Amino acid sequence: MMVTQMALSELLTPGRVLVDVPDCKRREVIRMLAERFADELGGEPSEYADPLLEREKLGSTAIGRGIALPHGKLATLHQPAAAVAVLKQACSFPTPDNVEVDIVIAFLSPDGPPQDLTRIADIVRELRDGKVAEAFRSAETPEQLIRVLND
């Protein structure tokens, strides 16, 4: 099965983008994002939080440059989805570059490895573009962020 590249703009909706999030505890941010998934996609927040928190137990999902990418498999999804929290203050995730995290992107996939590994690699490549990371940090509204990602 061939996996096509998916841009972040295809995985996010304004309802799953949080800007200026005051809480910087890793578990709480993941739970907030799980609530957004549940609000838009149905089900209970714990259904979305559990695979993300399980993955986090294996090791930090921080990828550097102030970005964390908790991810997991959720068989009840029909297609991959993401939610993002841009934090007011950076928080401590164990990171490869010792830069505290201020962008948390939760990614859930219905099919798991190896398909989601390709999608995660695509997301990481997109985030390594300084303009994309800056768009997250400077967005004042979810709609503004989605608009910038679409450009």
Is-catalytic flag, 78? no
Catalytic annotation, pick one of 71, 102, 123, 145: 71
Strands (E), 23-100: 62-64, 67-68, 71-73, 81-91
Query: Which residues have a Cβ under 8 Å from the Cβ of 145 and sit 6 or more positions away?
Result: 12, 17, 19, 84, 86, 135, 136, 139
Query: Which residues have a Cβ under 8 Å from the Cβ of 93 and sit 6 or more positions away?
Result: 26, 60, 61, 62, 68, 100, 101
Q: Which residues are catalytic?
A: 71
